[in-house]
Amino acid sequence: MLGASRNLIAFQRRRLAVVMGTNEIASAVGVALNRAGFAVVLSHDSHPPVIRRGMAFHDALFDDHAELGGIVGYCAENLLEIASIVARKKSVAVTPLSFTDLLALRETDVLVDARMQKNRITPDFRRLAKITVGLGPKFVVGENCDIAVETHPGRIGELIRKGATDEADGASRPLGGAGRERFVYSDRAGIWRTPVDIGMWVPKGFLIGRHEDVPVFAPMDGFVRGVARDSVFAPEGVKLVEIDPRTRAEGFAGADERCRTIAMATVKAVRIEAARRAALLDCAAGERP
């Protein structure tokens, strides 16, 4: 009981950041915010399924070890578990609870929407957190976020303080000379089953798994860089598999340069927005009689 009380006190003393998403970008942001002194909670969203699991905290949801940059992710099923985990400085909580479930925890200082839902309507959570940051497509400053971070190739990490982020164009950044063709997308909704794990080398045409009993094959020779976890539900039009055509396994664990750039930009965005609000308060105080 005494230990739980100490954890709660330690938790209350730290600023709370909730990151929506458990993918590789959300996870890199979680690491950066943790290092910036925040208590960090990653809230899982099932759409789209996470495939780059070696680069993310996602598998902590299933009690697998998940560590990035010296920060460890632990599964938290309830609010008390969350408070206990984030009270420790090099730990983040990874939870199936939604952001609205987390509102009972305490006031959220920073909310980052890192779900990368390119084709969905993005809700406005601005009144539910002190500062809201949107990552990637579908964000408009002043409408559904306070500040945004661009994730589009060529503009990665650019801060958007007015207007909208770029729309998704369906293009994939090249990796080993391969773009969109290195991915396998779902053509229906259903349960995904696979025995394959990240880092395996597979030849073109290798049976990676079955989606709603329909076989899914490797699109090229290479290493499995990303694959949706066995038994998850995958809707139509989402990535199930990513093959890395490079000649040796690399870049399957830890944040890559793109993720780190977005994460650092997110921390910068939080600081800029906090400074802007502080300046507004100072101006308002100076105008009072």
Pair 26, 63 in one domain = yes
Structure confidence at residue 120 (pLDDT): 75
Judge contact between 138 and 121, C-beta under 8 A: yes
Residue entry with tokens 């293009």: 171
Pair 216, 73 in one domain = no
Residue 175 located in a structural domain: no
Quick: pLDDT tens for 114-162.
998 877 778 899 999 999 999 999 999 999 999 999 998 889 999 999 9
Residue 43 located in a structural domain: yes
Residue 276 located in a structural domain: yes
Judge contact between 238 and 49, C-beta under 8 A: yes
Quick: pLDDT tens for 58-79.
999 999 999 999 999 999 999 9
Report the alpha-carbon distance of residue 31 to residue 28 in Å, rounded. 5
Total domains, the chain: 2
Nearest Cα residue to 57 out of 88, 81, 21, 87: 21
Pair 126, 237 in one domain = no
Pair 152, 200 in one domain = no
Indicate the pLDDT class of residue 177, thresholds 50, 70 and 90. confident
Pair 151, 71 in one domain = yes
Look at residue 282 and tell me whether its pLDDT is greater than 50: yes
Pair 163, 186 in one domain = no
For the ranges 45-49, 148-152, 166-170, which has the lowest average pLDDT? 166-170
Residue 249 located in a structural domain: no
Pair 87, 65 in one domain = yes
How far apart, in Å, are the Cα atoms of 264 and each of 32, 67, 108, 144, 270?
A: 7, 18, 20, 21, 10
Look at residue 284 and tell me whether its pLDDT is greater than 80: no
Residue 250 located in a structural domain: no
- In this predicted model, which residue has the larger pLDDT, 201 or 177? 201
Structure confidence at residue 1 (pLDDT): 45
Q: Please give the residue range of the domain that contains residue 236.
A: 180-244
Q: In this structure, what CATH number is given to the domain that contains residue 185? A: 2.40.50.100
CA pseudo-torsion sign 51, 54, 57, 62: positive
Nearest Cα residue to 72 out of 14, 27, 24: 27
If DSSP codes are grouped into helix, strand and coil, which group holds residue 43? strand
Pair 190, 135 in one domain = no
Report the alpha-carbon distance of residue 118 to residue 20 in Å, rounded. 14
Residue 251 located in a structural domain: no
DSSP of 173-211: --BTTB-GGGEEE-SS-EEEE----TT-EE-TT-EEEEE
Structure confidence at residue 2 (pLDDT): 44
Structure confidence at residue 249 (pLDDT): 60
Average pLDDT for the chain: 89
Pair 164, 101 in one domain = yes
Report the alpha-carbon distance of residue 8 to residue 68 in Å, rounded. 25
Residue 135 located in a structural domain: yes
Pair 216, 116 in one domain = no
Pair 98, 152 in one domain = yes
129-135 and 214-217 strand pairing: unpaired
Residue 252 located in a structural domain: no
Sheet-wide strand order for 207-211: 214-217, 207-211, 190-193, 233-234
